[in-house]
Copies of this chain bind each other. A is one copy, B any other.
Amino acid sequence: MERNVIVGQSGGPTAAINSSLAGVYRTAKDRGAKKVYGMLHGVQGLLEEKYIDLSDHIKTELDVELLKRTPAAFLGSCRYKLPEIHEDRDVYDRILAILDKLDIEAFIYIGGNDSMDTIKKLSDYAIITGHPTRFIGCPKTIDNDLALTDHTPGYGSAAKYIGTSMKEIIRDSFCLEYSKGLVSIVEVMGRNAGWLTGATALAKGEDCEGPDLIYLPEIPFDLQKFGEKVKKILETKTSVVVAVSEGIHLEDGRYVCELGSSIDFVDAFGHKQLSGTAAYLASYIAGEVGCKTRAIEFSTLQRSASHSASRVDILEAYQVGGAAVKAADEGDSGKMVVLQRLSDDPYQCGTEVKDVHKIANDEKLVPREWVNKDGSYVTNEFVSYVRPLIQGDVSPVMVDGIPRHLYTPRELSQR
């Protein structure tokens, strides 16, 4: 590389997104980039010329290691969607002018579906206007719902946390109840895709029976059948543990969480929070079956739990960041780096680049054949798919009993 690189992060936080940032930074530096800038809060901040020189923050090799272990977007995130080019060219011209001013050769954006839409539009506009900056996307989402890539960085660590915590909840649950029966409903993130909820099956092993039932949002949920299944299981076991996706809904389209009377929230991105699915089902079962119930939400913890990250995930996130810079350096633009699995066992995986037009705004769901016939559990194929992605640990750098992170730019949190 001969000029500068700028990198941004967008969408929901993960435990691995900063490992991709570390990969971008290191590879850009290794390939001769003069400066590596970080946009603060993605394109939204860039439009206000908010950015930092990453060398001011990543000063040592230890800092690179800390960054890999730091959860959530180090540079801050955004949910900014660019207008269609024909609607408003002005915003594109402003972005390109800022890139020119900073002498940017490559623009790397780490994110999910919406972020790939940004890469698509910017690279299209650069082609139209003959602008030389190259735009490359770097996949990131715990939801694992990006098309054309075998999986997404961030998913493996979330799945490992979910499998581990689910196992701990199962232990907790069945020591509690002596005779009457206790039904624990655990709510997992995932509005449309059940990849995270399915990962609760990882709790199952020689030493644990795993959750009793798993419901993904891909398949319509039947309240009555659910109640009957729980009753049936309670005939032989005193503790029943159920994993449900926040996005499960009835045949008629109504979300389960909308059936109850829990307080409604709008999340930080303005989406209606699908909170209360577990709470509603716990209350439903208490009424139908007459046993004790409890509702547990993994909540934010599942996406930012760096202390329980998967080594495979953190390394792949780092590789993907490096591969994005390499692709830009080799002349690619309008592409996203994808992970291509070569084999399950032994697990082998490499990177490629694919046309971002085929990825943006698409959503990869769990295949129907990876869920059992009546939609109440994932199959062995699902577990074989996810198992390699949770292997290995990334020892946190412990300081005084708590994992150390790389200190985030002060500009992020202060007005």
Contacts and interface: CB of A to CB of B under 8 A. Distances in A.
Nearest to A76: B175
A160 B408 contact: no
Given A175-B74, A235-B415, A407-B207, A305 B402 contact: no
In the complex, the count of this chain's copies comes to: 2
B305 A168 contact: yes
B207 A405 contact: yes
A398 B393 contact: yes
Interface of A is mostly: mixed
A364 interface: no
A293 interface: yes
Contact of A261 (B178, B205, B263, B310): B263
Contact of A414 (B73, B237, B299): B237
Nearest to A239: B413
B171 A304 contact: yes
A279 B263 contact: yes
A164 interface: yes
Given A71-B172, A178-B41, A261-B261, A301 B412 contact: no
Contacts of A269: 176
A45 B179 CA distance: 10
Contacts of A160: 401-402
Nearest to A161: B307
A13 interface: yes
Contacts of A177: 268
Contact of A171 (B70, B172, B175, B298): B70
B44 A168 contact: no
A163 interface: yes
18 contacts: A71-B168, A75-B175, A165-B301, A167-B403, A169-B300, A169-B304, A172-B303, A175-B408, A203-B402, A208-B405, A235-B415, A236-B415, A237-B415, A262-B279, A265-B286, A296-B299, A296-B300, A390-B401
Given A236-B414, A237-B415, 16 more contacts: A13-B171, A44-B178, A71-B171, A163-B402, A165-B305, A167-B405, A168-B306, A169-B300, A169-B304, A206-B407, A209-B413, A263-B283, A265-B282, A265-B283, A310-B401, A387-B400
Interface of A: 9, 13, 41, 44-45, 70-78, 160, 163-165, 167-169, 171-172, 174-178, 182, 184, 202-203, 205-209, 235-239, 260-263, 265-269, 273, 276, 279-280, 282-283, 286, 292-301, 303-308, 310, 387, 390-393, 398-408, 412-415
